[in-house]
Amino acid sequence: MITSLTLFSSLCIACTFSSHLFAQTALQADIGTATLDHDRVVGPRWVRMNFDPLNMGSHTIQLTQDADADVRFSVFDRSTGTVIVRNVVDQWTGDLNDSDSYYLGVWSASGSAYVSAAIAAEPVNNLPELIIVTQPEDVTVKKGDSASFAVSATGADPLGYQWYANESPINGANDPNLLINAASDSDDETLYFVEVTDGVNTQRSDTATLTVVADNTPVTSIKIGEGTLDSSKLVSAKFMRFSFDALATADHTVTVAWNSDADIRFNVFDSSRVRLTGSAVRGSNPGVWTGALTAGEQYSMSIWSFDGEANFTATIEASTVIEPAPEPELLTGYSLEADTLAWVLNGPAPTLDFQVGANTDGWGRTLLRIEGVLLVGGDFQGIRPAGNSTDITNRPWLAALDAVTGQPVSTFNVPEQINDVVRSLALSPDGTRVYVGGDFGLVALNALTGEFDFELQVSDGDNTGRVFDIVASNKELYVGGDFSHINGSARGNLARLSQAGELDTFWSPSVTGGITRGRSAPVQSLALSPSNDILYVGGTYVAINGTPVASTERGSTVSMMAISATDGSVNPERFAPDMVSGEIADSRDLIVHDIAVLDSHIIVAWGGPNFLTLHQTDGVRIQQYSGAGDVQAIQVLGDLVIVGHHGEFFGTLTDPIPPEAVESLDPLIVKPFKLHTFRFDPVSAHLIPEQTWAINGAFGVWAIAASDDAIWIAGNLRRVGSSDLEVEGLARIPALD
């Protein structure tokens, strides 16, 4: 992708081309260079070169070479694969649309040569206004940690960026995001800003300050609660109670501050209702208590107005920060062929969420491995041996297989309460219960036998509500989907329960808006932070507690937020993919299909525009991959990140079609890679691509269950792996010996 509008490089071929072709032209840029060889001795026969238009209208593309080889090129629309022009020798002039992206297919029909491609266009004066939308913000980090700054801007693509530190340009810092690795004392109080250019105009951002603090400086803090207290109970309650979890095994400081001369007092209790504060904290604003708390334990505070009215805020801060353990390294690799003996699903399924014919495959939507047993839930009516369409065992909606052999097991029997599409499965932390969610509501089963335990009535107005995801912590269940009530109590698409199914009457964030049909719901994915104090909520919704989701530079919504697992309030951090790059020309709303949480990073699977993004916990985006179809499933196993989607391929923003996926350039034929593994590198904090699998099936991979002996995948699958094994809805990929 062309990242800035610059004069050609010092390569003599490009200089010669520039001087005679574009001497009177203001806009010009290199597209790329390569060595091509028809006989593929000194180089490849063909290459792909991505580029973006310089403006709207006529462009000239020129190919030069250092030999008399027969070198030709074709121009393609990158998003649709449409051919703009074929089999051009030397030069082509034609109109290009600045809202689209393109690529050259360049090949040698005869001989070898070093070639250079360049593009030029007449300047236009009607550029859209260059505006910095989001300014860099001050950052505080501990010594040795990484710091990041970000800017977003709108204007004529492609935009160029140059970051500065204390007024000096930073070499190579030419992206919207700036990462400072291993901040040191010398970085403390450094001032950063960025200049953004559209090739004609330049805007300078606000200045942001980097503050570097010592390792033991308190930086972990959350809000416990806020509200209005009134001793006379005329405008609000006199007394409130809040529950919260410890941030670490360490000393914590609870602070209550308010906005009047009222007499506000509070106490702190452990889970056994033992009062830790001794006598009530009183006599000063703010009121402060410090004491030792234990990670994984829940505490509570009572707060009241002894006299007067006040708006208050209660926060907790850990005096020490416990560094997370590194992600364990997984040494296992996996075969590129699927297991021929593993059973598959049987269709057609009568309630698929899209328009289908009579022979549609059954779908697997969710997977859960419980030691040696694999549970597969979805939209199917039975299971059968691979390759045998007649030996069908009746297992509608939920089935159990041996996770190693792929054969049915008789020890787990599904009760009649599971009578519609299964969309989510979760195991209780003690391993005794399986929670099953779907278009019937929520049912709890015995994890070993499948025996019915209890059921919750989930409704959406007069209809049955749908449960799309369930997350279990040590004490609670978080349930998200498309519903308005649980057991008769109003809940806006999100609820918290005890592990025994009792609704938490205190915790009640409201998730509003979004899609309420088919494969989509307001809440589609949930994930908890390692400390269980933050709940990440993804889906199609437009607001939580009245706080709207973020919007992209093109005005589309980004349905991903972090909220407090303590009181349900919305956290300030926001998560979004890169929608500024010239590579992107999509203004559809972004849907979150899945979320994975590492110790200190968040991974998000996006649909609409289709991306996989890696973020810091504060929302700063570190890395992004691009797909041609929705990214739908993520599972983390040690340092291995496994990703499924339904596109044809998966690449980076600058190279969305990796070379290994291209079988033919003209016509363009791309392998349907829909399953990928990445290694998370803790040093660079990046996802490094590792393995890919060719998978056929229009809607691809929707569920992953990985272990060190196999990767199970489920979804709309027809053929899997290098052997093109015919499957239906479910496949097992064994680990290598």
Cα separation, 220 vs 703, in Å, equals: 34
Q: Look at residue 682 and tell me if it is in a domain.
A: no
294 band by pLDDT with thresholds 50, 70 and 90: confident
Q: Can you name the residues that pair with 574 across neighbouring β-strands?
A: 561
Query: Taking 50 as the threshold, does the pLDDT of residue 139 lie above it?
Result: yes
pLDDT in tens, 210-226: 888 775 544 466 778 88
Q: Can you name the residues that pair with 597 across neighbouring β-strands?
A: 602
CATH number at residue 152: 2.60.40.10
What average pLDDT does range 346-369 have in this prediction? 63
What average pLDDT does range 117-135 have in this prediction? 80
How much is the pLDDT for 9?
Answer: 32
Return the CA Rg of the chain: 29
654 band by pLDDT with thresholds 50, 70 and 90: low
Query: Taking 50 as the threshold, does the pLDDT of residue 25 lie above it?
Result: no
Cα separation, 61 vs 28, in Å, equals: 10
Percent of the chain with pLDDT over 70: 89
Out of 242-251, 281-290, 471-480, least confident range: 242-251
Q: Are residues 205 and 168 in the same domain?
A: yes
pLDDT in tens, 722-736: 888 988 899 999 999
How much is the pLDDT for 5?
Answer: 29
How much is the pLDDT for 21?
Answer: 42
CATH number at residue 543: 2.130.10.10
What average pLDDT does range 409-433 have in this prediction? 92
Residue that finishes a domain, picked among 68, 86, 121: 121
Instruction: Give CA 360 to chain center in angstroms.
Output: 29
Query: Taking 70 as the threshold, does the pLDDT of residue 62 lie above it?
Result: yes
Query: Taking 60 as the threshold, does the pLDDT of residue 1 lie above it?
Result: no
How much is the pLDDT for 13?
Answer: 35
Q: Look at residue 661 and tell me if it is in a domain.
A: no
CA–CA distances in Å: residue 656 to residues 79, 102, 713? 10, 12, 24
Percent of the chain with pLDDT over 90: 49
* Stronger pLDDT, 92 or 349, i.e. the higher one: 92
Q: Are residues 206 and 231 in the same domain?
A: no
Alpha-carbon torsion 35, 38, 43, 44, what sign?
positive
Cα separation, 67 vs 326, in Å, equals: 53
Q: Are residues 475 and 504 in the same domain?
A: yes
Q: Are residues 480 and 590 in the same domain?
A: yes
DSSP letters for 12-57? HHHHHHHHHHSTT-SEEEEEEEEEEETTSSSS-SEEEEEE--SSSE
Q: Look at residue 711 and tell me if it is in a domain.
A: no
Query: Taking 80 as the threshold, does the pLDDT of residue 331 lie above it?
Result: no
20 band by pLDDT with thresholds 50, 70 and 90: very low
Q: Tokens for 593?
A: 């299909």
- Per the prediction, the chain carries an average pLDDT of 85
CATH number at residue 46: 2.60.120.380
How much is the pLDDT for 656?
Answer: 64
Q: Are residues 153 and 266 in the same domain?
A: no
Residue that finishes a domain, picked among 599, 627, 655: 627
* Stronger pLDDT, 517 or 41, i.e. the higher one: 41
356 band by pLDDT with thresholds 50, 70 and 90: very low
Q: Can you name the residues that pair with 120 across neighbouring β-strands?
A: 28, 60
Q: Are residues 202 and 102 in the same domain?
A: no
Per the listing, tokens 């980076």 go with: 652
57 band by pLDDT with thresholds 50, 70 and 90: confident
Contact predicate 615/631, CB 8 Å: no
Cα separation, 262 vs 232, in Å, equals: 12
543 band by pLDDT with thresholds 50, 70 and 90: very high
Q: Look at residue 736 and tell me if it is in a domain.
A: no
Structural domain harbouring 557: 457-627
Cα separation, 614 vs 599, in Å, equals: 13
pLDDT in tens, 551-594: 877 778 999 999 998 889 999 999 998 876 655 556 778 899 99
